[in-house]
Amino acid sequence: MHTVVVGTNGVTASDVLAVARGGARVELSGEALAALAASREIVEALAAKPEPVYGVSTGFGALATRHISPELRAQLQRNIVRSHAAGMGPRVEREVVRALMFLRLKTVCSGRTGVRPSVAQAMADVLNAGITPVVHEFGSLGCSGDLAPLSHCALTLMGEGDAEGPDGVVRPAGELLAAHGIDPVELREKEGLALLNGTDGMLGMLIMALADLDTLYRSADVTAALSLEALLGTDRVLAPELHAIRPHPGQSASAANMLAVLKGSELTGHHQDDAPRVQDAYSVRCAPQVAGAGRDTMAHARLVADRELAAAVDNPVVLPDGRVESNGNFHGAPVAYVLDFLAIAAADLASITERRTDRLLDKNRSHGLPPFLADDAGVDSGLMIAQYTQAALVSEMKRLAVPASADSIPSSAMQEDHVSMGWSAARKLRTAVDNLTRVVAIELYAATRAVELRAGLTPAPATRAVVAAARAAGVAGPGPDRFLAPDLAAADAFVRGGHLLAAVEPVTGPLA
């Protein structure tokens, strides 16, 4: 099994994906263990002094004015975890919780939190045992970290609350720890706070969304090319020299992908045959501009994610010179903004994708295709309602594109009076990505059918490869009306599983 070693300098997006989705094992480097021990010595020295230090010998948030005596400090740390584990609503996905735990471990291993090495090792042990704390949908405002979600994870370390075992069964966390030989953690000064103060949930969801969107944007370039081909459009608008004079990298990459898919097609270039038109519609002609802008948005989001992956987010932090200082680095604004930005870009890509599908189905705009791509229009409805479904998905995505980060709701008796709502931005982006996959799948379903209905003209080799692979995967072709939901589900699985790209790239080469 793949192993990810966590040191003091952060982790990579690939590491997060390996642990969250691939079940990779986690090990702590010797450097990380040494840094943990060194920072713990600093915290313990401060704890022994009579002067109050936030998070070490005081209460938290609006209650930070109370100095806590030594005999109550262990109880203080337990209490913050128990009281903050206040989430409600449905459980969040296993991969999200694993990313959340792994990214908190990443910060702990930086040596900036004052946590003991034994606590960090317990965090790694829980991940390696396949134990997944039960974390709920609601409870994070994206400031002071993803407090409730991280608290539910810390609760599991303490052997309290509920967690899911590697068999998928939810049981008391104490039972699961015992079954895997893991001792519950007895938290000491600052450790409860250090396990809660991070942007780890929203960051983990950002990294996974970027991985999924990378596949989806390349897939959307393929389906856009198939739609252009089915509509007898022109590929001249994809020429590299046209995109070079507006030098957005994403736009050029998208145009190049579409051009590679269309290479060798007999269907393109017929836009002035029977019903001459000077230009294709925007949804066809401007596909690279819209998809390209989304790609460039992703590039900016990756930059933010990489910076967060290198960060040590906690409050207070242990600095290299031995100071323990309060700060505001737990504020989720940088991550929240790009999560919202990606949801906007995804909604726009879905919108232009749906417009191409609608054009394929409209006999007045499809340049000779049958109404709704039906076998016997009137008797058959064809893909009429498939487009309805696609439109419903797009409409939902437009609602999900409303920024969460533009909102703020005060909390903690006005101590935490401006919050990021980054967790909410991440949750709605996950839904948007899921919906975008279905939207692209419906265009694939319509475009492959439309291409096959263009008798007498040979599609591009890449198109033929896509059609053949889709049909082999159960994505049915033209014919009389049938129960359509299973066909659309097959198309969704074809896109979601990366099979569309696997079919096309042996012909085109790797798409950008």
Contact yes or no for 382/438 (Cβ under 8 A): no
User: How far is residue 471's CA from residue 451's CA, in Å, rounded to a whole number?
Assistant: 13
| C-alpha triplet 133, 138, 141: angle, nearest 5° | 110
The phi, psi pair for 133, rounded to 5°, reads: -55, 150
- Residues 6 or more apart from 2 whose CB is under 8 A from it? 18, 22, 24, 25
DSSP label at residue 433: H
Structure tokens at 253: 């990459």
Q: Quick one: 243 exposed, middle or buried, by C-beta within 10 A (0-12, 13-18, 19+)?
A: buried
* Cα-trace Rg, the chain: 26
Nearest to 105, CA basis, from 95, 87, 119: 119
The phi, psi pair for 25, rounded to 5°, reads: -75, 155
| C-alpha triplet 50, 53, 55: angle, nearest 5° | 130
Active-site residue flag, 54: yes
Contact yes or no for 386/397 (Cβ under 8 A): no
| Length reported for the chain | 512
Nearest to 102, CA basis, from 78, 130, 81: 130
Cα of 180 vs its chain's centroid, Å: 30
C-beta atoms surrounding 349 within 10 Å = 26
Structure tokens at 194: 């250090």
User: How far is residue 510's CA from residue 223's CA, in Å, rounded to a whole number?
Assistant: 16
| Strand ranges in 20-176 using DSSP code E only, listed in sequence order | 25-28, 88-91, 132-133, 136-138, 162-164, 170-172
Contact yes or no for 228/237 (Cβ under 8 A): no
Cα of 181 vs its chain's centroid, Å: 33
Q: Catalytic amino acids?
A: 54
